[in-house]
Amino acid sequence: MTIMKSLKMTAAAVALSAGAAQAADVEVLHWWTSGGEAAALNVLKQDLEGQGVGWTDMPVAGGGGEQAMTVLRARVTAGNAPTAVQGLGFDILDWANQGALADLNAVAAQEGWDEVVPDALKAFAKVDGKWVSAPVNVHSTNWVWANKAVLDANGIGVPGTWEEFTAALETLKAAGVTPIAHGGQAWQDATVFDAVAMSVLGPDGYKAAFVDLDEDTLGSDAMKEAFDRMAVIRANVDDNFSGRDWNLATAMVINGEAGFQMMGDWAKGEFLNANKVPGEDFLCFRFPGTQDQVTFNADQFMMFDQGGSVSDEQAKLASAILSPSFQSAFNVVKGSVPARTDVSDADFDACGKQGMKDLAAAAASGNLFGSMAHGHAAPASVKNAVYDVVTAHFNGEYDSETAVQELVDAVSIAK
Ligand code: GAL
Round to whole Å and give the CA distance between 281 and 260: 13
Residue 51, pLDDT score: 87
In a domain, 12, yes or no: no
**Best mutation site among 266, 273, 297 for ligand 1 pocket (most ligand atoms within 8 Å of CB):** 266
Q: What's the whole-number mean pLDDT along residues 208-228?
A: 98
Ligand 1 centroid–CA 64 distance in Å is 5
The answer on 265 and 183 residing in a single domain is yes
pLDDT tens digit string along 317-376?
Answer: 999 999 999 999 999 999 999 999 999 999 999 999 999 999 999 999 999 999 999 999
Window from 43-47, 155-159, 266-270 with minimum mean pLDDT: 43-47
The answer on 265 and 331 residing in a single domain is no
Please give the number of the atom of ligand 1 that sits closest to the Cα of 297. 8
pLDDT tens digit string along 150-183?
Answer: 999 999 999 999 999 999 999 999 999 999 999 9
The answer on 144 and 133 residing in a single domain is no
Ligand 1 centroid–CA 155 distance in Å is 32
Please give the number of the atom of ligand 1 that sits closest to the Cα of 63. 12
The answer on 324 and 286 residing in a single domain is no
Ligand 1 centroid–CA 20 distance in Å is 33
- What radius of gyration do the chain's Cα atoms show? 22
In a domain, 252, yes or no: yes
Q: Which domain holds residue 249?
A: 140-295+369-414
Mean pLDDT of the residues in the chain: 94
Ligand 1 centroid–CA 297 distance in Å is 8
Ligand 1 pocket by Cβ (under 6 Å)? 31-32, 37, 63-65, 88, 139, 246, 264, 266, 297, 299, 374
Ligand 1 centroid–CA 154 distance in Å is 32
Please give the number of the atom of ligand 1 that sits closest to the Cα of 34. 12
Confidence of residue 209 (pLDDT cuts 50, 70, 90): very high
The answer on 234 and 129 residing in a single domain is no
In a domain, 1, yes or no: no
pLDDT tens digit string along 76-102?
Answer: 999 999 999 999 999 999 999 999 999
Ligand 1 centroid–CA 184 distance in Å is 16
Beta-bridge mates of residue 133: 302
Confidence of residue 308 (pLDDT cuts 50, 70, 90): confident
Residues ≥6 apart with Cβ < 8 Å to 298: 88, 89, 120, 121, 124, 135, 136, 137, 138, 139, 339, 376
In a domain, 361, yes or no: no
The answer on 131 and 119 residing in a single domain is yes
**Best mutation site among 248, 265, 297 for ligand 1 pocket (most ligand atoms within 8 Å of CB):** 297
What Cα–Cα distance (Å) separates residue 115 from each residue in 103, 108, 118, 343, 411?
A: 18, 10, 8, 13, 36
- Domains held by the chain: number: 2
The answer on 226 and 103 residing in a single domain is no
CATH number for the domain spanning 36: value is 3.40.190.10
Beta-bridge mates of residue 332: none
The protein residue with its alpha carbon nearest to ligand 1, atom 12, reads 63
**Best mutation site among 28, 29, 30, 31 for ligand 1 pocket (most ligand atoms within 8 Å of CB):** 31
The answer on 174 and 57 residing in a single domain is no
The answer on 168 and 194 residing in a single domain is yes
In a domain, 215, yes or no: yes
In a domain, 377, yes or no: yes
Please give the number of the atom of ligand 1 that sits closest to the Cα of 139. 8
Q: Do residues 47 and 320 make contact, with C-beta atoms less than 8 angstroms apart?
A: yes
Greater confidence, 304 or 20? 304
Judge whether residue 207 has pLDDT over 50. Answer: yes
Ligand 1 centroid–CA 176 distance in Å is 31
Confidence of residue 309 (pLDDT cuts 50, 70, 90): confident
Round to whole Å and give the CA distance between 270 and 278: 12
Q: What's the whole-number mean pLDDT along residues 290-309?
A: 94
Please give the number of the atom of ligand 1 that sits closest to the Cα of 31. 10
Residues ≥6 apart with Cβ < 8 Å to 167: 159
pLDDT tens digit string along 1-27?
Answer: 454 445 444 444 444 444 444 446 899
The protein residue with its alpha carbon nearest to ligand 1, atom 11, reads 64
The answer on 233 and 155 residing in a single domain is yes
- Using a pLDDT cut of 70, give the percent of the chain over it: 94
The answer on 202 and 125 residing in a single domain is no
Q: Do residues 405 and 384 make contact, with C-beta atoms less than 8 angstroms apart?
A: no
In a domain, 360, yes or no: no
Confidence of residue 39 (pLDDT cuts 50, 70, 90): very high
Confidence of residue 383 (pLDDT cuts 50, 70, 90): very high
Residue 16, pLDDT score: 42
In a domain, 7, yes or no: no
The protein residue with its alpha carbon nearest to ligand 1, atom 1, reads 64
Ligand 1 centroid–CA 18 distance in Å is 30
The answer on 246 and 105 residing in a single domain is no
Beta-bridge mates of residue 365: none
Ligand 1 centroid–CA 61 distance in Å is 11
